């Protein structure tokens, strides 16, 4: 089975993880237009590439960011949100 | 029964010609360029030529015809959706399906089987009652049936699912059918070819030229083509094509896997779906069990298969049909599903003039092949959106007017 490196638990099987999509910056709901909000809510960058994504190790409820190649399914690196200013 | 088959019986040699011609070169320009020679693209080409008299059309295909999701789905055709728009649209498709073999003079093995969506929970039963009522309102044969009915029709099924997920009822949809999916692409391809449409395989689109908001041409691996109308019907490659014309969409790509068993004698007539167990199963004309499950859980632009999938799906199938434990799996594969947030397609016009979209077909596109082709041909030919597809526009995600079809998806994704 595919293994994923949780920043706390180390390598664990993919079945222990939950995927929550690409990391997106939310516009300020008080000041943005309806169109900007619709864009944030619905639109996705569906093009293949190396993406920053939210993943969670379910048993330990560890949320982290993974940079993953969505063509080869290889994890480039995993880290906590905000760590090293990388997110 | 296609009479053409008689010729095989009377001919000493195999008389069948090629399904479509090949061309050494692309022309400089076409009235319409269709990107993607899957069922949808070829169907649109067929109806453009047959119903609208537009034959200066080329269909570009990076690989080979029907090699994408047209040849990777589990071939189920049904119209038991939950939104009025969905029910009307897919019902129109079934009506086209039923005459298609005759239209093509090609046997599609279209086989009306009946379709059961099993409910294992009260909430599933509620949704099925809702779907049955919406279906009946629009003249589609669907009804809620109880466990006695199901057990009588499917005596070989374990109604308790090993004791942990007893079947409480089902949505029974009599028109549910299966068809030979490759033949659908071939039939539409041959019909379009005979009417003058050019099909170009192994021709990749590398760019789309847009001048002041209007389509101007297509750059391909075999040169530039001038055109003012492009129909994009590329399923899992839609986001990449949209990026060529700077359009945003909610489409995201997840693989959908499937597998078939070795052939067995005919024992399963209807199509069985269980949302709770995440399975669907039918038996093909060859006797193979065609098996599918839910989407892979994360984005991937690849058609790789996994062992997790085979194990998980087999385990659930054995809960319904324990006697299959000695039947072997012979093939597994995957397709790239272009998913949308509301599980309805994205069809029609776009903000780029002359760029028409037939996408967002996720896990539900095969059954829509005829009607998608027909409505898109109308939309492209007249530059006005066909009335059956107005609720499927890309615009709906700007106006928050979604067409919620998720509860009618075959399995809970």
Residues B262, B143 share a domain: yes
Query: Same domain, yes or no, for B69 and B140?
Result: no
Q: Please judge whether A19 and B398 are an interchain contact, meaning their C-beta atoms are less than 8 angstroms apart.
A: no
B191, B282: one domain: no
Q: What is the CATH number of the domain that holds A27?
A: 3.30.2270.10
Examine residue B351 and state whether it is found in any structural domain, yes or no. yes
Could you tell me if residue B214 is inside a domain?
yes
Residue B304 near chain A (CB below 8 Å): yes
**End position of a domain, from candidates B313, B339, B365:** B339
Residues B350 and B219 in one domain: yes
Domain assignment present for B92: no
In A40-79, the residues whose Cβ lies within 8 Å of chain B are 42-48, 51, 53, 70-73
The answer to whether the Cβ–Cβ distance between A44 and B251 falls below 8 Å is yes
Which chain B positions have a beta carbon within 8 Å of A22's beta carbon? 299
Output the domain CATH number for residue B171. 3.30.9.10
Residues 6+ apart with CB under 8 A from B239: A45, A46, A47, A48, B249, B251, B252, B253, B338
Residues B222 and B307 in one domain: no
First and final CA of chain A: distance in angstroms? 28
Q: Are residues B138 and B236 in the same domain?
A: no
Q: Residue B306 corresponds to which tokens in the numbers above?
A: 């996994």
Phi then psi dihedrals of residue A22, to 5 deg: -70, 150
Answer yes or no: do B257 and B335 share one domain. yes
Cβ B38 vs Cβ B66: under 8 Å: yes
Q: Is the CB of B351 inside 8 Å of chain A's CB atoms?
A: no
- pTM comes to 0.94
For chain A, the domain total comes to: 1
How many domains, chain B? 2
For residues B192 and B333, membership in a common domain is answered with no
Q: Do both B328 and B308 map to the same domain?
A: yes
The reply to whether B120 and B152 lie within a common domain is yes
- Whether A3 contacts chain B with CB within 8 A: no
Give the pLDDT of chain B (413 residues) as one tens digit per residue.
567 777 777 776 666 678 899 999 999 999 999 999 999 999 999 999 999 999 999 999 999 999 999 999 999 999 999 999 999 999 999 999 999 999 999 999 999 999 999 999 999 999 999 999 999 999 999 999 999 999 999 999 999 999 999 999 999 999 999 999 999 999 999 999 999 999 999 999 999 999 999 999 999 999 999 999 999 999 999 999 999 999 999 999 999 999 999 999 999 999 999 999 999 999 999 999 999 998 999 999 999 999 999 999 999 999 999 999 999 999 999 999 999 999 999 999 999 999 999 999 999 999 999 999 999 999 999 999 999 999 999 999 999 999 999 888 877 55
Range of the domain at A75: 3-85
A66, containing H or E segment: strand A62-69
Question: Taking CB atoms and an 8 Å cutoff, what residues of chain B touch A44?
Answer: 249-252
Query: Which residue of A lies nearest to B298 if distances are taken between CA atoms?
Result: A19
How far from each other are the two terminal CA atoms of chain B, in whole angstroms? 38
DSSP collapsed to 3 states, B73-92: CCCEECCCCCCHHHHHHHHH
Q: From CA B74, how far away is CA B69, in angstroms rounded? A: 10
Look up residue B290 and give its DSSP letter. Answer: E
Cross-chain Cβ contact A1/B307 below 8 Å: yes
Q: Are B334 and B358 in the same domain?
A: no
The DSSP element (H or E) to which B295 belongs, if any, is strand B289-295
Nearest to B193 by CA among B17, B69, B319: B17
Report if residue B226 sits inside a domain: yes
Dist. CA B75–CA B143, nearest whole Å: 22
Does B303 share its domain with B315?
yes
Q: Which residues pair with A68 in a beta bridge?
A: A51, A75
B390 part of a folded domain = yes
B269 vs B181: CA distance, rounded Å: 18
Structural domain span for residue B350: 26-73+181-251+342-408
């Amino acid at each position: 089975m595919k293994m994923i490196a949780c920043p706390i638990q180390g390598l664990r099987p993919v079945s222990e993880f939950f995927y929550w999509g690409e990391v997106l910056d939310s516009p300020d709901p008080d000041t943005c237009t309806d169109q900007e909000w619709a864009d944030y809510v619905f639109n996705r960058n569906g093009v293949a590439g190396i993406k920053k994504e939210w993943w969670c190790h379910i048993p330990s409820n560890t949320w982290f960011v993974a940079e993953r190649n969505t063509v080869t399914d290889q994890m480039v690196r995993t880290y906590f949100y905000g760590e090293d200013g990388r997110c | 029964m296609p009479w053409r088959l008689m010729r095989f019986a009377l001919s000493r040699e195999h008389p069948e010609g090629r399904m479509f011609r090949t061309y050494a070169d692309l022309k400089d320009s076409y009235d319409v360029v269709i990107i993607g020679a899957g069922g949808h693209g070829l169907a649109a080409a067929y109806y453009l030529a047959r119903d609208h008299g537009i034959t200066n059309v080329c269909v570009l295909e990076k690989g080979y015809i029907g090699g994408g999701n047209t040849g990777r789905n589990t071939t189920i055709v049904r119209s038991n959706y939950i939104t009025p728009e969905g029910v009307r649209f897919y019902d129109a498709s079934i009506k086209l399906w039923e005459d298609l073999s005759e239209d093509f003079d090609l046997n599609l093995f279209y086989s009306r089987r009946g379709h059961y969506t099993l409910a294992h929970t009260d909430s599933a039963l509620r949704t099925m009652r809702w779907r049955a009522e919406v279906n009946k309102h629009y003249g589609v044969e669907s009804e809620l049936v109880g466990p006695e009915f199901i057990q009588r029709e499917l005596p070989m099924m374990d109604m308790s699912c090993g004791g942990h997920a007893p079947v409480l009822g089902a949505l029974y949809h009599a028109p549910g059918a299966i068809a030979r999916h490759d033949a659908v692409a071939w039939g539409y391809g041959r019909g379009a070819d005979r009417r003058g449409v050019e099909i170009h395989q192994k021709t990749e689109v590398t760019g789309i030229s847009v001048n002041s908001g209007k389509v101007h041409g297509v750059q391909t691996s075999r040169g530039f083509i001038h055109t003012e109308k492009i129909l994009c019907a590329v399923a899992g490659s839609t986001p990449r094509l949209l990026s060529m014309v700077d359009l945003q969409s909610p489409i995201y790509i997840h693989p959908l896997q499937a597998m078939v068993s070795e052939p067995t004698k005919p024992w399963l007539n209807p199509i069985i779906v269980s949302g709770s167990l995440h399975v669907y199963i039918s038996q093909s004309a060859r006797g193979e069990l065609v098996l599918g499950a839910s989407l892979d859980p994360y984005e991937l632009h690849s058609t790789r298969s996994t062992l997790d999938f085979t194990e998980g799906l087999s385990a659930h199938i054995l809960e319904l049909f324990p006697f299959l434990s000695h039947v072997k799996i012979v093939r597994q594969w995957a397709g790239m599903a272009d998913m949308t947030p509301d599980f309805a397609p994205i069809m029609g016009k776009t903000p780029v003039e002359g760029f028409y979209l037939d996408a967002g077909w996720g896990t539900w596109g095969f059954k829509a092949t005829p009607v998608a082709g027909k409505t898109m041909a109308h939309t492209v030919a007249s530059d006005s959106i066909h009335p059956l597809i107005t609720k499927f526009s890309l615009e709906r995600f700007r106006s928050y007017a979604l067409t919620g079809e998720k509860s009618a998806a075959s399995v809970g994704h």
